[in-house]
Amino acid sequence: MFGMGFTEILMIAVIAIIFLGPEKLPQFLVDIAKFFKSLKRAVNDAKTQLEREVQITELKDEAEEYKKQFRSITEEMSSVTAQLDDPLAEVEEIKKATEPKREVVKFKKKSLEDKDKVNV
């Protein structure tokens, strides 16, 4: 553990008993355990936050790539529609030119007097 052997750990424990005394040693060990636990929690929280930031960065990059693709597709579509506008206008002109012209034929109403003259 931490590159220390059993004898080094035993020596540290003996020195801790001498300096702290048997009354304060259990509370000191509890405090040390709490410290390491909170340190481990802080490191894990920092690691989790860093992973979230990396994911957010990746999502931003992916969104930017999709945005570029969308722009290129939009530009292509606008150029295609611009090319289609001219032929469509020409097609409409051809349709108008080939349609038969319809003329309105007006018939004169004949009055009853005119009918009598024809019948006589």
At residue 94 the predicted structure's pLDDT band, cuts being 50, 70 and 90, is: confident
Residue 80 reports pLDDT greater than 70: yes
pLDDT tens for each residue of 6-19: 888 888 888 888 88
- pLDDT of residue 70 exceeding 70, the answer is yes
Q: Does the structure show a pLDDT above 70 at 110? A: no
40 pLDDT band, cuts 50/70/90, is: very high
Residue ranges per domain, the chain?
Answer: 6-97
pLDDT at 78 over 90: no
Query: What is the band of 25 on the pLDDT scale with cuts at 50, 70, 90?
Result: confident
3-state secondary structure 43-105: HHHHHHHHHHHHHHHHHHHHHHHHHHHHHHHHHHHHHHHHHHHHHHHHHHHHHHHHCCCCCCC
